[in-house]
Structure 1
């Protein structure tokens, strides 16, 4: 785990929608939880199950998969960067509907700093 000052620095350098290449390191319960991703920043990356193909965990990226992810939000309780798959093959089929329903401000947040007013979490 990184120190608070390091976490603050990392957050200050990230932007919503920023694309990071990462390696899937854990898929603890396919179809249930999500995937953990090493994004090379010293903090954990995580893709929530709601952003992955629903009902088709065999279409999720497996451990060792190297692909691009976008910064979706940051976990407020501990250092963790929440990600969304950049590759549509790993993204839920109804992403546009999901955004419209649960995070309609997403398009306007892209490119903004993580620090500052926190976006609504899904």
Structure 2
């Protein structure tokens, strides 16, 4: 866990859809949780189970896999950058339907800052 100031600094440098090459460092329970990814930041990256292949967990990236990931959102409580796989072979089969149902604004969010700047005080 990093300091709040470091977490805010990291968030301030991230944009939705930003691509990082990362290494899968932990797959604790295939099919149940997701995968932890080192993307070279002081905070961890994580791909949630809902974004990974559902039909065949053997299609998940294994520990040591190096591939590209996109910033999907941030989880402030866990100081974690939530990612989605860039490579469709690691992405859930129904990603387009998932986005349409749960995050229909996703395409327009790409390139937007993850953390909105705080209003300046007068």
TM-score normalised to structure 1 length? 0.93
- Structure 2: gaps of 5 or more residues: 118-122
Distance 1:9 1:28 in 2: 29
Distance 2:113 2:11 in 1: 8
Q: Secondary structure at the match of 2:104?
A: coil
Q: When the two structures are aligned, how many residues end up with a matched partner?
A: 117
Distance 2:17 2:107 in 1: 9
Asked which structure has the greater CA Rg, the reply is 2
Question: What's the RMSD between the two structures over aligned residues?
Answer: 1.0
Distance 2:98 2:72 in 1: 13
Give the conservation status (yes or no) of the 8 Å contact 1:17–1:111.
yes
Distance 2:7 2:76 in 1: 11
Q: In the alignment, does 2:29 pair up with 1:29?
A: yes
Matches within 5 A, 1:1-122: 1-116=1-116
Distance 2:103 2:56 in 1: 23
State the shift of 1:42 in Å: 1.1
- Structure 1: gaps of 5 or more residues: 118-122
Task: Tell me what 2:120 maps to.
Answer: none
TM-score normalised to structure 2 length? 0.93
